[in-house]
């Protein structure tokens, strides 16, 4: 803490002490009356005084206020009687040399006692002790506000964490699976390294780079890699850290952040979770005085004011770009938008190789197979998968992380925590076994369905009683109508298996029916795959990023009631036709259905090798034991 801040704080402390002393004297003056010595003598002879304390320079005691108008003047008596509690009040008078004082006290039969003055003790108790309490309270509040005694004066300072190249510890070698985004940001790194090459031709580097992507796709990691690769200071701050209780603090922190960045140029400013700060102002119902809006206005001003040729690059990340203010996204502010999509099969394998660098892997671990079994996983999900497998291997006292540990970790992530202690009656276990067997057999008999990698009837999570995991052979970006119909068939396989075997259905197919219905509705209303309704698109698919995205995707219905009924009828027809196809398949494979359900009840979990061994057996042989009781 510097000298000016210390003087500023001590000034506030001195002011607080003076106010406290003034209040103390004011309160004391309201409860203690000061008498003239002549009044003291008169009241003593009249028997109005009691409990006298004789000090070296003062006399104090209690004064009976009843009948004072008979001893003193009416005005003085009224003044002494005002505010008296219980007909008595304290008094004090200055003691003068009076040799007959003790004789007068004895004659008035007043109880008195001597007490030496203790000025230093009274001063300590009335001044110093309260002052210390105020000082301690000041320290506590100052540390809560800013970490030091000068915290209140530094509340507008930026809280950005500054990292140097060696402190970020991340380079492009640690980033995998997002090659296109990495190549896009190499230009920023090249400018920070050799800015003269661009300035020589009169080019201007983009002022701001906005990283867009779903949670866990590596936005923050990529920004730190840019700073580590360029070897420049990296100012990192979250959007929520700009906004505080006090109005104007956020704008002050923005100004201070850009001032620090210009002093340390070339450097990178990174604002994580930009949507916490840059939410569109059209959604603000609080008016122009909202603290978040003032902070956003200041950010826009600073972005217009700083010169990118000085080497200050502003980067930000968000997974909700559809709610950002349009002024942030215009050219001249965040000029470049870098979208980080979920990695494909090759990218997932590369990410897994990055995360297993420090893991002791068994030789049989197939990272390509793991990547194929994790479609839709982001970088953070894959990192979690490797960590879970490592923890499971250590829990079972293994020397290396093997494929079994990865299988168990993947089951735990997808299906939830294993619930082996959940008690299920035999009929429920049989129902789950036939349900999962139905999914599996239908998937094996559909040309366009993804092959089954693992089947389990072990309860997991909150409500999951079993699951059938399919592994796509390759990443798909377009799906044909025949492929979608095959997927609907697989979803209905469990429900139809229950109906065929038990003659009844259970609630276990709720999620399957919901997914099948959604898929059929999309085929009819979005993809133009309806035989009766034709090509019109009746519903808009939600856009993932930027203007016109999820915020405007779900509007009012733009078709008539007749069309709505036709859509409902078409959905029912599509699902009914799929159910009949599945029913015919399972009836033809009834022997395999019984055998697979029996095997599941015995083993509980079947991998691809066990499924292949079962499917290549003679289907005409009956099950070893009847499943139904």
- Give me the active site residues, please: 436
Q: Cα(221)–Cα(354) distance, rounded to whole angstroms?
A: 13
Q: Which two structure tokens, joined as six digits, stand for 594? A: 């019984």
Q: Cα(76)–Cα(74) distance, rounded to whole angstroms?
A: 6
Q: Cα(536)–Cα(526) distance, rounded to whole angstroms?
A: 8
Q: Does 252 sit behind a cis peptide bond, omega within 30 degrees of 0 on the bond before it?
A: no
* Contact predicate 474/420, CB 8 Å: no
Q: Cα(471)–Cα(611) distance, rounded to whole angstroms?
A: 14
Q: Distances in Å between the alpha carbon of 369 and those of 154, 351, 352, 393, 541?
A: 54, 13, 11, 19, 32
Q: Where are the beta strands (DSSP E) in 65-99?
A: 88-94
Q: Which two structure tokens, joined as six digits, stand for 256? A: 């201070």
Q: Which two structure tokens, joined as six digits, stand for 399? A: 């020397």
Q: Distances in Å between the alpha carbon of 575 and those of 90, 276, 520?
A: 95, 43, 7
Rounded to the nearest 5 degrees, what angle is found at the Cα of 277, between the Cα atoms of 220 and 227? 30
Sign of the C-alpha dihedral computed for residues 574, 579, 580 and 586 taken in this order: positive
- For residue 450, the 8-state DSSP code is P
Q: What is the edge-to-edge ordering of all strands in the sheet holding 467-470?
A: 467-470, 452-456, 605-607
Rg (CA), the chain: 41
What pairs with residue 467 in β-bridges?
Answer: 456
- Diameter of the chain by CA atoms? 133
Q: Which two structure tokens, joined as six digits, stand for 257? A: 């952040």
- For residue 341, the 8-state DSSP code is P
Angle, helices 426-444 vs 590-603, to 10°: value is 130
Dihedral of CA atoms 483, 487, 489, 492 in degrees, nearest 10, equals -170
């Amino acid at each position: 803490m510097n000298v000016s801040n210390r003087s500023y704080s001590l000034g506030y402390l001195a002011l607080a002490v003076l106010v406290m002393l003034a209040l103390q004297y004011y309160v004391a003056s309201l409860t203690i009356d000061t008498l003239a010595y002549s009044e003291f003598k008169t009241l003593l002879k009249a028997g109005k005084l009691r409990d006298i304390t004789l000090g070296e320079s003062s006399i104090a005691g209690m004064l009976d206020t009843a009948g004072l108008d008979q001893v003193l003047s009416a005005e003085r008596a009224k003044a002494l009687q005002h505010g008296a509690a219980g007909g008595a009040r304290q008094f004090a008078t200055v003691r003068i040399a009076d040799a007959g004082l003790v004789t007068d006290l004895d004659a008035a039969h007043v109880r008195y006692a001597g007490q030496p003055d203790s000025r230093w003790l009274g001063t300590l108790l009335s001044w110093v002790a309260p002052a210390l309490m105020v000082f301690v309270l000041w320290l506590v509040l100052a540390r809560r506000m800013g970490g030091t005694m000068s915290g209140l004066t530094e509340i507008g300072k930026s809280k950005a964490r500054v990292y140097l190249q060696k402190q970020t510890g991340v380079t492009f070698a640690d980033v995998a699976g997002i090659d296109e985004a990495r190549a896009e940001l190499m230009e920023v790194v090249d400018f920070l390294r050799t800015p003269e090459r661009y300035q020589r031709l009169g080019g201007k580097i983009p002022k701001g780079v906005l990283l867009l992507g779903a949670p866990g796709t590596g936005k923050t990691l990529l920004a730190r890699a840019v700073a580590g690769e360029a070897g420049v200071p990296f100012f990192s701050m979250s959007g929520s850290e700009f906004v505080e209780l006090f109005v104007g603090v956020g704008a002050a922190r923005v100004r201070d952040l850009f001032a620090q960045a210009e002093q340390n140029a070339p450097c990178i400013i990174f604002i994580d979770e930009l949507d916490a700060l840059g939410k569109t102002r059209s959604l603000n119902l609080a008016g122009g005085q909202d603290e978040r809006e003032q902070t956003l206005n200041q950010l826009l001003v600073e972005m217009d004011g700083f010169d990118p040729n000085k080497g200050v690059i502003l980067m930000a990340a968000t997974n909700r770009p559809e709610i950002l203010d349009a002024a942030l996204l215009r050219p001249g502010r965040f000029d470049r938008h870098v979208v980080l999509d979920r990695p494909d099969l090759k990218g997932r394998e590369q990410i897994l190789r990055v995360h297993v660098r420090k893991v002791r892997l068994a030789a049989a671990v197939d990272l390509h197979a793991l990547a194929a079994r994790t479609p839709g996983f982001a970088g953070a999900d894959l990192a979690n998968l490797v960590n879970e497998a490592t923890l499971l291997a250590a829990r079972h006292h293994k020397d290396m992380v093997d494929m079994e540990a990865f299988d168990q970790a993947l089951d735990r992530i997808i299906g939830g925590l294993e619930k082996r202690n959940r008690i299920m009656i035999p009929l429920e276990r049989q129902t789950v076994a036939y349900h999962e067997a139905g999914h599996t057999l239908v998937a094996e008999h559909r040309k366009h369905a993804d092959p089954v990698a693992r089947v389990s009837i072990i309860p997991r999570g909150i409500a999951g009683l079993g699951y059938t995991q399919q592994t796509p052979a390759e990443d798909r970006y377009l799906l044909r109508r025949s492929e979608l119909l095959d997927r609907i068939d697989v979803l209905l396989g469990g429900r139809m298996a229950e109906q065929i075997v038990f003659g009844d259905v259970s609630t276990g197919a709720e999620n399957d029916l919901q997914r099948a219905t959604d898929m059929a509705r999309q085929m009819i209303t979005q993809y133009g795959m309806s035989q009766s309704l034709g090509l019109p698109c009746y519903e808009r698919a939600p856009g993932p990023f930027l203007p016109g995205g999820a915020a405007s995707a779900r509007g009012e219905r733009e078709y008539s009631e007749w069309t709505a009924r036709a859509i409902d009828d078409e959905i029912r027809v599509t699902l009914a036709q799929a159910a009949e196809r599945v029913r015919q398949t399972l009836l033809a494979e009834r022997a395999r259905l019984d055998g697979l359900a029996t095997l599941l009840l015995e083993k509980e979990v079947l991998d691809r090798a066990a499924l292949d061994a079962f499917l290549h057996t003679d289907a005409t042989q009956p099950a070893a034991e009847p499943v139904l009781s």
